[in-house]
Amino acid sequence: MKKIVTILGARPQFVKAAVLSRIILKYNTIEEVIIHTGQHYDANMSDIFFDEMEIPKPKYNLAINGLSHGAMTGQMLLKIEEVLINENPELVVVYGDTNSTLAGALAAKKMNIKVVHVEAGLRSFNMKMPEEINRILTDRISDLLVCPTDTALKNLEKEGFSAIPSKIVNCGDIMKDAVEFYGKISAQKSSIISTLNLQTNKFVLATIHRQENTDSIDILKAIFEGMEKISVKKQVIFPLHPRTKSILDKHNLKYNITFIDPVGYFDMLELLKECDLVITDSGGLQKEAFFNGKHCIIAREETEWVELVLNGFAKIVGSNTSKMIKAFESFQNSLANFKVELYGNQVGEKIYSEILKVL
């Protein structure tokens, strides 16, 4: 039986990998070995996902975290290489745009192991984002580039990938499969709505964690001031990322926002189902909002998921407080059709089929 290694490190990657792992187990034609780099090390940001989603626990946990980008990526490269030497797989699968993604792709490619990049071709065109650097470099050395949208595929074509010996396919967004599958069972797995005593459409769900927002105290303040003004009209529920928490604590910043600990995937799905709308700088949450029929206010200057903005499901406001308030008000009267097809269907099955072709 041929073997593949899947490399994970951050919360969104666990969700995406759960879809493909479930399909691999169903067909039982290839062996999957999972490496967890440890990039997300908080139990609520990591371990809970494997327990909740009933996917195979990682065979390897490298416990690499809390370091600078260079140190983290370098240590991951070293440790992943050691595992790949031991496991000798035919192929390595990486997801998204984290340091774990880049380190996994580099380690595999330098050993002449094929690389599959799920979520290839996404671009923010902002080279100040570490994620943008990671995704560009990972795309360039991947053998199979699995794009989630036509826009992502066209980005690769514009960058000259037609002249590079790699295969490019648009299979759709694998996150859609996860939301559809786990959304059917999340109500039985989660009690967060009753625990927090929340009412449908009476609260806003918010998350802020990206480096470009947390590294500038002025930007972070502007974003939170916008959310605080919104909280006068609707309660703001904010699962607090460890990075954001440490900065708020450091500067003793207090806001009239309901901060809660990081939540598991089922809790997040229930919050998405019941909220009025979403405010976030997370790429994954932008789409999860759409899949759950919710508008999204994007606290960034750009988005990789341009379809959401072009179709009126999301608005980019950056750290502009007045823009955030206007977006919130405009979405209160929106009658958008969230049934429009943007991100494909049966995505995991399509990706599995493409992987078999390159094995």
| CB 205, CB 237: distance < 8 Å | yes
Q: What is the pLDDT of residue 359?
A: 94
pLDDT in tens, the chain (359 residues): 999 999 999 888 988 999 999 999 999 999 999 999 988 655 554 566 677 777 778 999 999 988 898 999 999 999 999 999 999 999 999 999 999 999 999 999 999 999 999 999 999 999 988 999 999 999 999 999 999 999 999 999 999 998 999 999 999 999 999 999 999 999 999 999 999 999 999 999 999 998 889 989 999 999 999 999 999 999 999 999 888 999 999 999 999 999 999 998 899 999 999 999 999 999 999 999 999 999 999 999 999 999 999 999 999 999 999 999 999 999 998 889 999 999 999 999 999 999 999 99
Q: What is the pLDDT of residue 348?
A: 98
d(CA 35, CA 31): 13
Helices (H) and strands (E) in the chain, counts: 17, 13
| CB 282, CB 210: distance < 8 Å | yes
Spell out the domains of the chain, with CATH numbers in brackets: 2-173+344-358 (3.40.50.2000), 186-331 (3.40.50.2000)
Q: Which of 268, 75, 66, 60 has its CA nearest to residue 175?
A: 268
d(CA 213, CA 208): 8
C-alpha distance from residue 311 to each of 178, 305, 314, 315, 337 (Å): 22, 11, 8, 10, 9
Q: What is the pLDDT of residue 10?
A: 85
| CB 277, CB 297: distance < 8 Å | yes
pTM for the full model?
A: 0.92
Q: What is the pLDDT of residue 45?
A: 47
d(CA 17, CA 49): 11
Residue with tokens 């094995």: 359
38: left (phi over 0), alpha (psi -120 to 50) or beta: left
The CB-side HSE value for 320 (13 A sphere, CA atoms) comes to 13
Length of the chain: 359
| CB 8, CB 58: distance < 8 Å | yes
Residues catalogued as catalytic: 209
d(CA 7, CA 94): 5
d(CA 94, CA 36): 11
